[in-house]
Amino acid sequence: MKKKITIVTILIILALIYGAIFYVIGTVSSIQISKIPISQYMSNILLNKIKPLDIIQNKSELIHIIKNPLLAIKQAFSINKTVFLIIMIIVTILVLYRLAMITIFNEQIFNYLGFNKLIKDKKGTFGTSKFADAKDINKMKKQKTLENEKGIILGSIKKPYTLESLKKYNTKYRITIGPKVKMLNGHAIVVSGSGAGKTFNFVLTNAINAIRDGVNVLFTDPKGELFKTLSKYYEQNGYTVRVLNLINTEKSDRFNPLSIVENELDVVTFIDVLFENARSLESTGVNDFWDTGAKDLLKAVILYIKATYSEEKQNMGEVYDLIIESANIEQMDLLFDDIDDDTAMKRAYKLFRNSEDKAREGIILGLGLKLQIFQHKDIRKLTQSNDINMYDLKTKKSAFFIIMPDTHNSYNFIPSIFMNFLFIKLPYLHDNTSDEKIKNTKLRIFADEIANVGKIANLKNVITTLRSRKIDFFPIYQNIAQIKEVFGKGWETITGNCDTFITLGVNDEETSEYISEKLGKQTIKTISKNKTDGLTKIASVKRWSISEQQRDLMQPSEVKRLNKFKCIAFIRGENPLLLYKYPFSALDEYKEIKKLEININDYVPVYQRQKEPEETKQENKQFVLSKQPAEPTEVIEKEDQNQEQQKNHTEQEQEKETHQEQQEKTNEEIILDIMEDDDEDII
């Protein structure tokens, strides 16, 4: 826009200059001078016989022409054509010369035009990098790489409007990655510093576009801002909403990790993830040995519980209790002695049992420490049953939120287990179902602050398998250092497996250098000026030279100074895009969504919703009774109710005692009970 204004201004100035010249020529050429000798004219002036302007014979006509510039310009074209042409050539040469001097040598004009004294060389001797221009963008749109509506919103060619009356113009300039683009995967990695607007300008914006595209979504949600903003709107659009809230577990749907453990391989994966993320002592040689034994013991116990416990008791709280209550080696032996040797649980237990006595006690103690998180009442309650069925993300319209605390990582293992099994179970479901609806259901995973999720096994390679299963993954990091910390030496594999790379602004040196290098090199022309003064100013000589040099498309310092309203997007095989960020407030739905925001603590988990109607009914009944005067019959009824309640209470106490007696049965009796059931399958 600045360049266009400047060019228009220059054209207007040139028009005014030529108009003024024509005006002067026309005015001068219309003057009619009386034919008297100069000597007589001067004599008459000295004798005050005439005034100086009396020599002009057509004063009134001249005044009329002066007052009407168009008449003067018209008069200019009536003079001798040869004279007029000579005058115009001389004037044009002078004007062009002056403009050339200003354009080439005036640094202020150059900076104002936005060139900053950099002229790109089309030959590209030292590099051909450039930002995508209008021609490149149109080409990508024809190839369906870019669109305006569907897909992942990258940004906008022009700054988006946030006024309601102007939002209708935003779509025209919006840039999205087309959902049907060929030869590209749908994954995009976002690397932006804190405060750059990752949530507001990328996640929230694309969360709404996901509804337009009709895809399912999973969000990792630090602090719960996404759930607060989006949950009700998703419900209104027909989505099943579930939340795993690790900040306030009382307001969370339950997730039982053992519910997704379906075979021995799942058990191994579960244990590896748990140990990788568990809070434990620093690793030493001895502890490494104990870890191996602890894994064998935990594997045996989990398989035992999956085989012998009722479904509602198959959870990690029961696993922890069994390990602690059976800390005595002899008691553990009683559990496994009569189990068939040709079972996975028995083989795992035998590996543990082959350790020395002292080592075994240390292994049990160490395992108890690793699982001590399951001492806590809130975690036991959170993991005792399952309301979050990850298969829903492929079988029905669903939106899942994982709310994580940003002040500690004590619960990291829970979202880590969920994500690890998600990347195993959903591809398996996709590959082994004949239901075309499931195969065609798309899922987008927005993993904000994914570094806080915990370890995700083999993520570098898993990403490559998701595209064919209609799963798009969007990991979001604060900087390159975070990626290196998570993936170590092979960190570039994660960026290489995402065909789109987005940055909304960074402030650290390492990330800015990486982005600068990723943008590439360009070839520029540099202009130098030499001026040699002669004997007079008119005789001074100006010389200039042009040379080619290499330059970063954006230097690291320039990357760090990127306009706060802009972002950079890299798409494999295309020139990088320098775009305006597309804020959540620029969406048409923004106003409606803001009205639907909820307080996270007002959310009612699924298992509480199922109890609500009956509980509410009882509470209302008690309230009504308390407000009415008691009739004799009501008093009798109330006494009967009290007796019934006391009876029920006594029965409940008896049930508790019976349950405690059953818990106190010896392990030998439990084994005998199991053996009496011939149809029971141990493994």
Segment 252-268, tens digit of pLDDT = 999 999 999 999 999 99
Give me the mean pLDDT over the 563-584 stretch: 96
Number of H helices, E strands in the chain: 30, 15
pLDDT at 288: 59
Best CA proximity match to 95, nearest among 211, 184, 10, 33: 10
pLDDT at 681: 38
> Who's near 643: CB < 8 A, 6+ residues apart?
none
pLDDT at 53: 72
Query: DSSP class of residue 281?
Result: P
HEC profile for 102-130? HHHHCHHHHHHCCCCCCEECCCCCCCECC
pLDDT at 529: 62
Question: By the 8 A CB rule, do 297 and 458 touch?
Answer: no
Spatial strand order in the sheet of 119-120:
119-120, 521-532, 541-552
CA distance 270 to 414: 11
Half-sphere exposure for 459 (CA within 13 Å, toward CB): 28
Which is more confidently placed, 404 or 357? 404
Q: Show the CA angle centred on residue 659, arms to residues 655 and 662, nearest 5°.
A: 140
pLDDT at 460: 81
CA distance 608 to 399: 19
Q: What percent of the chain has pLDDT over 90?
A: 48
Best CA proximity match to 363, nearest among 460, 277, 445, 289: 289
Q: Which tens digit of pLDDT belongs to each residue from 178-196?
A: 887 888 888 999 999 988 9
Give me the mean pLDDT over the 429-436 stretch: 95
Query: DSSP class of residue 255?
Result: -
Q: Is the pLDDT of residue 466 over 90?
A: yes
pLDDT at 666: 39
Q: Is the pLDDT of residue 11 over 70?
A: yes
For residue 397, give the 3-state DSSP assignment: coil
Least reliable range by pLDDT among 78-92, 218-232, 375-389, 617-631: 617-631
CA distance 609 to 240: 14
Q: Is the pLDDT of residue 79 over 90?
A: no
CA distance 348 to 271: 13
Q: Is the pLDDT of residue 105 over 60?
A: no
Band the pLDDT of 76: cuts 50, 70, 90: confident
Chain-centre distance for alpha carbon 487: 20
Q: Is the pLDDT of residue 114 over 90?
A: no
CA distance 141 to 574: 12
pLDDT at 120: 63
pLDDT at 6: 72
Q: Is the pLDDT of residue 28 over 90?
A: no
Band the pLDDT of 455: cuts 50, 70, 90: confident
CA distance 192 to 241: 28
Q: Is residue 361 classed exposed, middle or buried when 0-12, 13-18 and 19+ CB atoms within 10 A define those classes?
A: middle
Band the pLDDT of 284: cuts 50, 70, 90: very low
Q: Which amino acid is at 681?
A: D
Outline where DSSP puts E strands in 223-349. 240-245
Half-sphere exposure for 298 (CA within 13 Å, toward CB): 29
Q: Is residue 237 classed exposed, middle or buried when 0-12, 13-18 and 19+ CB atoms within 10 A define those classes?
A: middle
Which is more confidently placed, 45 or 143? 143
Give me the mean pLDDT over the 66-71 stretch: 81
Q: Which amino acid is at 672?
A: L
Q: Which residue is associated with the tokens 């799942």?
A: 266
Which is more confidently placed, 449 or 4? 449
pLDDT at 108: 46
Which is more confidently placed, 497 or 48? 497
Least reliable range by pLDDT among 315-329, 500-514, 593-607: 315-329
Band the pLDDT of 320: cuts 50, 70, 90: very high
Q: Which two tokens stand for residue 11?
A: 């054209």
Least reliable range by pLDDT among 229-238, 269-278, 598-607, 608-617: 608-617
Which is more confidently placed, 537 or 402? 402
Which is more confidently placed, 107 or 522? 522
> Who's near 105: CB < 8 A, 6+ residues apart?
529, 542, 544
Which is more confidently placed, 136 or 653? 136
Which is more confidently placed, 628 or 213? 213
Most confident of 31-40, 105-114, 611-620, 669-678: 31-40
Band the pLDDT of 542: cuts 50, 70, 90: low
Give me the mean pLDDT over the 370-374 stretch: 90
Q: What percent of the chain has pLDDT over 70?
A: 80
Q: Is the pLDDT of residue 516 over 50?
A: yes
Q: Which tens digit of pLDDT belongs to each residue from 120-161?
A: 666 667 788 999 999 999 999 999 999 998 999 999 999 999
Q: What is the mean pLDDT of the chain?
A: 81
Q: Which two tokens stand for residue 579?
A: 């775009």
Q: Show the CA angle centred on residue 258, arms to residues 257 and 260, nearest 5°.
A: 80
Per-domain residue ranges for the chain? 2-115, 256-386, 629-683
